[in-house]
Structure 1
Amino acid sequence: MTVRAVALGGGRGLHASLAALRLITDEVTAVVTVADDGGSSGRLRRELGLLPPGDLRKALAALAGDGGSLWTTLFEHRFGGTGALAGHAVGNLVLAGLLEVLGDPVAVLDEVGRLLDVHGRVLPMCTEPLDIEADVLGLDEDRTAVRRIRGQVAVATTPGQVQRIRLHAAGAPGTLPKACPDALAAVRAADVVLLGPGSWFTSVLPHLLVPELHEALVDTAAKRIVVLNLVPQPGETEGFSPERHLQVLREHAPRLRVDAVIADGDSVSTPDRLRRAAGVLGATTLLDRVAASGSSERHDPVALADSLRRALGVVGGT
């Protein structure tokens, strides 16, 4: 039986999980965050009012087949120079143009998927851009004072300690985001759902703050697997232990149950603490060597795929 897999995230972390999943199955759906407000994506979002395309582009490239290799290379090409195009990836401009022509982000991504010979599907978490805001400690002389930080880049790079994040429709504080219907259907029909690796507060947790998507993740019959980062992210999770990542996950989604947590054994200094934190979520802990050879920050797709295969046979916690 073909495994139907859904990976949720954004950026390099999502690329890592997609690269591993495509070694297991062709039935892969990437559900991508849409709150980016930096770089090329941020410029296009501000100028055109469209979904930020960068993380969507990266997910398409991760799932692209050999039949679209030239187009994939072109999509990932970034303009140099100092003019108006400097820093823009070609794929970002193509996605932005198609969004204006077709209007429907799902139709745009499916069309580009055919162009790049994508094995699987790429979907936005929501069909409208979102804003992230966070409560952060440690930014004032009074180290217990909480300051509210707004924007994905600001949250990801804050020198303070992020306590909690919130998500709302762009430019509309208090307006809850609406999930992409196709993303909801994919989660409900999945055999396995992956959360992580990736920027914890700005790529992983946002999926749990979209009410309909949160309910789909809680209710799905799929096995839910959390893949932990190899190292804390400077700024966003500076000083976080592996178990702290799980505690924050539970604080944001206390009803979510997890079947397995995958972590690199060399990245975990206190395995018993991690197992206890995973057990609170209902999960078994797999301490496997999943880091790429010679790199402490990048997952090896083959090793991660092997660990995922093991996790697919794991039920309950120890």
Structure 2
Amino acid sequence: MTDTAPTGTTAPAASPTPAGAGLGERANGSTEADAPLRAVALGGGHGLQATLTALRRITTAVTAVVTVADDGGSSGRLRRELGLLPPGDLRKALEALAAADDEGQLWRRVFQRRFGGNGALAGHAVGNLLLAGLLEELGDPVAALDQARQLLGVRGRVLPMCTDPLDIEADVVGLDEDASAVRRIRGQVAVATTPGLVRRIRLHTAGRPGQLPRACPQAVAAVREADVVLLGPGSWFTSVLPHLLVPELHEALVDTSARKVVVLNLVPQPGETAGFSPERHLDVLCEHAPRLRVDAVIADTDSVPTPDRLRRAAAELGAQAHLARIATRQAPDRHDPEALAVSLLAALGRRTSAPSSTLIGAKVKTAERDTAVAPGERQGRGSTDSERRGEDPWR
């Protein structure tokens, strides 16, 4: 089977970059003391929303790079009927970065509003329709998103991963009587909800068989010029890993001098990552991008049954694992934006944030303390019999 992922030999595990490296003097002579942290977040859906909501507490210079393979719901309908980029994940990123003033929040609510009833508009979000109109009127996804961000007062930018809609294809096992038989399934919804086990994914440009996906040039430039790049959380195979399979974006991620941080999910996702341990998420990332080196891996303390295993998996990517309580108390499957922001600052070795931050130093110190988990220790819940025997209950 032909693999469209960028190829390369596995580099030896690199020593983690010293905390704060790459965050000092910049090419234009400015320093982190007089310029906001340039942060790029890659992903899609609710996972990317969580990252963006955390980042806006740290800096005003946020760029979201969003997957464009959605084929379900309102986005899927607009994509099929009009041949446009699926707007849903782009809309959610804009909403996450909307201005906090009355006008920005009004437009955020308008973008979120969905039509009811049983007619042609039923289920469509207003923001999806507005983005579809801008895409058709301007013919340029980047220009359309720049216009939309003015309505919401977004400080930062939202960019598509590619300027053409993409299809995700996956190799899946466990769908036949022969559990080892590999079946190919296609489409984001199909991959996300498969009852089988996803082994590998590929990307195809929709309607252009055999053509490799072409990255949005502005997204590539943002990654290369960033101070920090975040990958995850989110649907691992359908929102996170696709960024690694776009050749120009993959090369930018490998080459950038930015600190690279992976934020792990709080729980396995039913369907595509059911039964995955935290470290299995990193193994899969490495399999899809063997040349990628990472500086830090952030995970929730209560989501990691065996911290030593996660540390070893992170080290394979050249990273240090940072454990802290970053889940919301009300919904343990959702990241708490403020806690995630604090944990990110600690992972970057920054005890204080950029001038726009609303965080206080005491919380940064708390996050730094929480990352120091002793080998084999688990905070927040007791070990099960299987864990004491060294088995992994997530697999």
Which one of the candidate residues 132, 155, 158 is aligned to 2:168? 132
**Shift of residue 259, structure 1, vs aligned partner:** 0.2
Cα distance in 2, alignment partners of residues 313 and 220 from structure 1:
19
* SS across alignment from 1:213: helix
Tell me what 1:84 maps to.
Answer: 120
Tell me what 1:123 maps to.
Answer: 159
Residue 71 (1) aligns with residue 107 (2): yes
Cα distance in 1, alignment partners of residues 111 and 117 from structure 2:
18
Residue 19 (1) aligns with residue 53 (2): yes
Q: Over aligned residues, Cα RMSD in angstroms?
A: 1.0
**Shift of residue 296, structure 1, vs aligned partner:** 1.5
Cα distance in 2, alignment partners of residues 254 and 173 from structure 1:
26
Tell me what 2:237 maps to.
Answer: 201
Cα distance in 1, alignment partners of residues 341 and 135 from structure 2:
33
The amino acid of 2:163's aligned partner reads T
Which one of the candidate residues 274, 277, 280 is aligned to 1:241? 277
Cα distance in 2, alignment partners of residues 168 and 175 from structure 1:
7
Q: C-alpha deviations, 1:54-100, integer Å up to 9, x for none? A: 00000000000024211111110001111100000000000001111
How many residues were matched structurally? Answer: 315
Tell me what 2:255 maps to.
Answer: 219
Cα distance in 2, alignment partners of residues 114 and 99 from structure 1:
15
**Shift of residue 168, structure 1, vs aligned partner:** 1.2
Cα distance in 1, alignment partners of residues 186 and 69 from structure 2:
11
Tell me what 1:162 maps to.
Answer: 198
Cα distance in 1, alignment partners of residues 293 and 210 from structure 2:
27
Which one of the candidate residues 86, 99, 120 is aligned to 2:135? 99
Tell me what 2:329 maps to.
Answer: 293
- Which structure carries more relative contact order (alpha carbon 8 Å, separation 6+)? 2
Which one of the candidate residues 348, 371, 374 is aligned to 1:312? 348
* SS across alignment from 1:80: coil
The amino acid of 1:8's aligned partner reads L
The amino acid of 2:48's aligned partner reads L
Note the residue ranges of structure 1 that are not aligned, 5 or more in a row. none
* SS across alignment from 1:201: helix
Cα distance in 1, alignment partners of residues 258 and 148 from structure 2:
28
Tell me what 2:84 maps to.
Answer: 50
Instruction: Write 1 or 2 for the structure with the bigger share of helix.
Output: 1
Cα distance in 1, alignment partners of residues 210 and 181 from structure 2:
23
Which one of the candidate residues 146, 164, 168 is aligned to 2:182? 146
Cα distance in 1, alignment partners of residues 303 and 318 from structure 2:
22
Cα distance in 1, alignment partners of residues 330 and 116 from structure 2:
30
Tell me what 1:255 maps to.
Answer: 291
TM-score (norm 1): 0.98
Q: What is the aligned-residue identity percentage? A: 78
**Shift of residue 174, structure 1, vs aligned partner:** 2.1
TM-score (norm 2): 0.79
Tell me what 2:94 maps to.
Answer: 60
Cα distance in 2, alignment partners of residues 277 and 173 from structure 1:
35
**Shift of residue 294, structure 1, vs aligned partner:** 2.7
**Shift of residue 311, structure 1, vs aligned partner:** 1.0
Residue 278 (1) aligns with residue 320 (2): no
The amino acid of 1:152's aligned partner reads Q
**Shift of residue 171, structure 1, vs aligned partner:** 2.2
Residue 9 (1) aligns with residue 11 (2): no
Residue 38 (1) aligns with residue 66 (2): no
Q: C-alpha deviations, 1:134-173, integer Å up to 9, x for none? A: 0000000110000000000000000000000000100223
62-71 or 205-214: bigger deviation: 62-71
* SS across alignment from 1:119: coil
Larger radius of gyration: 2
Note the residue ranges of structure 2 that are not aligned, 5 or more in a row. 1-31, 351-374, 376-395
Q: C-alpha deviations, 1:99-135, integer Å up to 9, x for none? A: 1100000000000101100121000000010000000
